[in-house]
Amino acid sequence: MANNAEVGRREHKVVIRLWFVSSAEPQECSSSSLGTAAEPGKGMQTYAHVFLICTSSKQTKWEPKSLQALPFPFSSPAPLMYRGTVTGSWTFVFLGRGDHLKVCSQGYTCCSEEMEEKYSQQSKQDFRNAVVELSNHLQAMFNSRYKKFDEFFKELLGNAEKSLNDMFVRTYGRLYMQNSELFQDLFLELKRYYVGGNVNLEEMLNDFWARLLERMFRLVNPQYHFTDEYLECVSKYTEQLKPFGDVPRKLKLQVTRAFVAARTFAQGLAVARDVISKVSAVNPTPQGTRALLKMMYCPHCRGLVSVKPCYNYCFNVMRGCLANQGDLDTEWNNFIDSMLMVAERLEGPFNIESVMDPIDVKISDAIMNMQENSMQVSQKVFQGCGQPKTLAQGRTSRSVSESGFSARFRPYNPEERPTTAAGTSLDRLVTDVKEKLKQAKKFWSSLPGNICNDEKMAAGSVNEDECWNGSAKSRYDFAVTGNGLANQVNNPEVEVDITKPDMVIRRQIMALRVMTNKMKNAYNGNDVDFIDLSDESSGEESGSGCELQQCSLEFEFNVTEITGNAKNDKTANTSAATSLGLSATAFFFSILCLALQRQWR
C-alpha cells in the first residue's frame, strides 16, 4: 500500500465493505483485517476493516493482494467505488463519518449528503404509495358501486317509461298517443330530478295529476267547450274532489320517498369516492419527511439494509404523518352509518324498484277511478266553475268518435318487465354495497396500522429485538401514541403542530358532515338539496313509501256518449250529469271490472 500517505487525514476508522457484483442479494460470508497505516507527523492510527460479502453459498477465498490497487486518499465523504480482480468483480464501499448528514446518524455512514436527499425523496414517495395503495381499493369500490347504482336507477326509469308507453298504446291507442306528451313530461321531470335538476317532486306530481284531470275532463265531457281559464278552475278541484281516488296521494308519497332515498344514496357513494381521492393525496410535512427518512432509509446508511423498522416505531411515525387523516375517522364512521340506514330503506319501504315497476298500472287505476266517478266530479265542477258552453251536436259526435276512448287491460305479468341494469336487482345491489360499507368503517384510524402491517414497511411484532428503532438495531421502547391531531403532542418520532390542521382534510370532514345530515333526512323521507359534484352527476335523494299492490286484471272500458236531446225542464246540472253518464251496460261492466281489480289487490 504505497499510496496511503493521506489516509490519516480523516482521523477516523475506515471500514471497507466489499460487495460481490451479482443479480442476487448479497449476504455477508467472511471478514478480514487489512493492517494499519499512520499519517506522517501524527501518531494517529486508522484501521481499515474489510468485509467480504458474497452471493454464493460457496465460501469465497479472501486474497489481501487484491487490495494493492486500492485508490488513496479516502478524503471524500462520498462512497468510493472500485472493481478489483480477486475471483470475480467486487465493489468497495468506504464508510466515513456522517458529519455532513442532516437527518441520519452522524456516526459511521456510507451515505453522502446527496444520497441522503435522494433517500428523503424516496421515503416521501414510498409513504405516498403506501397510502394510495390502501386507499385505491376502497376508492375503486365506491366508484364502481356508484356507477352500478347510477346505471340501475337510470335504466329503471327508462324501462318504466317504455312499459307505460307500450301498455297505454295497447290500452288507449290513439287517445293516448294524442296525449302522450303528458306522460313523457312526467318521466322527463323524474329523470331531471335524479340527475340533480331543480325539481320539486311534490309540486311536479301535483301538476301532473292536475293536467291529467284537465285532459280527462274534456274526454268525459266531449259535448262541452272548455276554455283554458275554465280548465284551470277544474284543476283546482283535484285535491278536493279526489277524481283519481287515493292513487295520487299514495303515489306521491312513494315516489317522493323512493327518489329522495335513491338520489341521496347514489350521491353518497360518489361523495365517499371523492373524499378518499382528496384525503389519500398525502403530502408529509418537513418534520414528517424527516421522520420517514430516519425510519426507512437511515439504517441503509449504517449498512443495515435488511433490517426493518420496529413495528411500534413505524406506528408512531405513521400516526404522526397521518394525524389529520385520523381526525376524519369519526365523521367518516357517522357517514357510513347513515349510508347503512338509507340502504335499509332502499331494501324496504323506499324501494324505488317496487315503486317504478308498476307505475303504469297505478296510473291506469287512477284513470279508472276518474271514469267511475266522472258524473259526480263533473257535477261538482259545474257547481264550482259554472256551466260550460255546449258544442254543436256534429262536433260532439266527431270528437267522441275520434277519441275512441276504450281500455282493454289484460292480467299484469311481472315477468314481462324488461331486465334492468344488466340483469341485476336493487336488492342485490344494496346487499352487496352494505357489506362493503361495513368493511369501510374505521378505515382512517386503521390506516397507520395497515401500512405498518406490510412486511416491506416494518418488522413483525415477533422481531422486537432485531429491528431498527431509529438509532440502532435494537428494541423500540416508546409507547404508541393515539390517533388524531391532538394526540400527537407527545409523539416521540414526529413533531406535529396541532394548532395547524390540514385545511383540505377539514373541508372533507365538513363535506361528510353535510352528507350525513342529508342521509338522515332521506332516511326520514324528507327531500334534500342536490350537491353538485364536479366529476359527474350523481344523486342524493330518493325514497319510497309503502307500495300499492299491483293490478293483475286488465280491463275493457268504454265511454259512450249520450246523444239524446236534453230535456228543457231539467236543470243545467242534471242535463250535464245525464250527458256525462255512461250507458247502463258500460257502467255495469266498469263496476264489475273495478270490483275484480280491487278484489285482486
Residue 37 is assigned to a structural domain of this protein? yes
411 pLDDT more than 80: no
What's the sign of the alpha-carbon dihedral 191, 195, 200, 201?
A: positive
pLDDT band at 453 (very low <50, low <70, confident <90, very high): very high
Q: Cis peptide leading into 349, omega within 30 of 0?
A: no
483 pLDDT more than 60: yes
Average pLDDT, integer, range 62-73: 36
The separation between CA 249 and the C-alpha centre of its own chain, rounded to angstroms, equals 33
**Left, alpha or beta for 442 (phi > 0: left; psi -120 to 50: alpha)?**
left
Cα distance between residue 234 and residue 290, in whole Å:
77
Residue 78 is assigned to a structural domain of this protein? yes
Label each residue of 274-326 as H, E or C: HHHHHHCCCCCCHHHHHHHHHHHCHHHHCCCCCCCECHHHHHHHHHHHCHHHH
545 pLDDT more than 80: no
pLDDT band at 270 (very low <50, low <70, confident <90, very high): very high
pTM: 0.69
Cα distance between residue 400 and residue 559, in whole Å:
9
Residue 13 is assigned to a structural domain of this protein? yes
- Residue-averaged pLDDT of the chain: 73
Phi–psi pair at 407, nearest 5 degrees: -120, 125
In this prediction, residue 88 carries a pLDDT of 38
The region of weakest confidence among 40-49, 61-70, 410-419, 463-472 is 40-49
46 pLDDT more than 80: no
Greatest alpha-carbon pair distance for the chain in Å reads 144
Query: Can you list the pairs that 488-491 forms with residues at least 24 positions away whose Cβ atoms lie under 8 Å?
Result: 488/319, 488/320, 488/323, 491/316, 491/319, 491/320
| Cβ–Cβ under 8 Å, residues 526 and 344 | no
| Cβ–Cβ under 8 Å, residues 515 and 142 | no
pLDDT band at 154 (very low <50, low <70, confident <90, very high): very high
Cell of 567: 230535456
Measured CA angle at 316 (ends 314, 320), to 5 deg:
115
pLDDT band at 57 (very low <50, low <70, confident <90, very high): very low
Residue 195 is assigned to a structural domain of this protein? no
pLDDT above 70 covers what percent of the chain? 65
Residue 49 is assigned to a structural domain of this protein? yes
Q: How far is CA 51 from CA 15, 37, 68, 90, in A?
A: 8, 18, 16, 11
pLDDT band at 106 (very low <50, low <70, confident <90, very high): low
Cell of 261: 332515498
Strand partners, 27: 54
| Cβ–Cβ under 8 Å, residues 440 and 336 | yes
Question: Of all residues in the chain, what percent are helix, strand and coil, respectively (each to 5)?
Answer: 55, 10, 35
In this prediction, residue 282 carries a pLDDT of 84
What contacts 562, CB < 8 A, 6 or more positions away?
Answer: 578, 579, 580, 581, 583
In this prediction, residue 285 carries a pLDDT of 92
pLDDT tens across 490-535, in order?
899 999 999 999 999 999 999 999 999 999 999 998 877 766 554 4
Cα distance between residue 34 and residue 70, in whole Å:
12
Q: How far is CA 70 from CA 52, 75, 80, 84, 417, in A?
A: 15, 13, 10, 8, 85
Q: Determine which helix (DSSP H) or strand (DSSP E) holds 50, and give its type and residue range.
A: strand 45-54
Residue 93 is assigned to a structural domain of this protein? yes
The region of weakest confidence among 29-33, 91-95, 100-104, 493-497 is 29-33
586: which DSSP letter?
H
539 pLDDT more than 70: no
In this prediction, residue 130 carries a pLDDT of 95
Q: How many structural domains compose the chain?
A: 1
Residue 254 is assigned to a structural domain of this protein? no
395 pLDDT more than 70: no
In this prediction, residue 322 carries a pLDDT of 95
Q: What domain range is 15 assigned to?
A: 7-97
Cell 369519526, located at residue: 330
34 pLDDT more than 90: no
What's the sign of the alpha-carbon dihedral 565, 571, 576, 581?
A: negative
| Cβ–Cβ under 8 Å, residues 282 and 320 | no
Average pLDDT, integer, range 224-248: 88
pLDDT band at 276 (very low <50, low <70, confident <90, very high): very high
Residue 303 is assigned to a structural domain of this protein? no
Indicate the SS3 state at residue 524: coil
| Cβ–Cβ under 8 Å, residues 99 and 90 | no
pLDDT band at 464 (very low <50, low <70, confident <90, very high): confident
Strand partners, 390: 224
223 pLDDT more than 60: yes
pLDDT band at 593 (very low <50, low <70, confident <90, very high): very low
pLDDT band at 393 (very low <50, low <70, confident <90, very high): low
User: Which amino acid is located at 21 in the chain?
Assistant: V
